[in-house]
Structure 1
Amino acid sequence: MRRFRCISCKHEFEVEDKETVVRCPQCLDRFVQLLEGTPVKGKSWGSKSYSVKSTK
């Protein structure tokens, strides 16, 4: 379980570890702050991932 606090309405709530998209259950805002638990780690990216290939 991870604990979050909504930045907008200051409501604190808990979410299962499996959920990736977190919204506040009161105001449905996406801007939340992680209070307890492990942060979700995604795939790392670099500038080469988004670069445009050159045409030679």
Structure 2
Amino acid sequence: MGSSAVLQFACPDCEETIYLDDGMRELLCEFGCIVCGAGVDERDFVLASGPANSA
């Protein structure tokens, strides 16, 4: 069973930080930030580090 990478999204407009998986990343790219609605770019995502990404 494979696991999805945990990503970190930091909205450039409202500065909220959200941890998510690849499926949620696709939704954010399509519909925008879930907090403020700002447009989202692939550059706004990074691989999460620390406890949220530990196996």
Q: What TM-score, normalized to structure 1?
A: 0.48
Higher helix share: 2
Of structures 1 and 2, the one scoring higher in RCO (CA 8 A, sep 6+) is 2
Q: Which has the larger radius of gyration?
A: 1
Q: What TM-score, normalized to structure 2?
A: 0.48
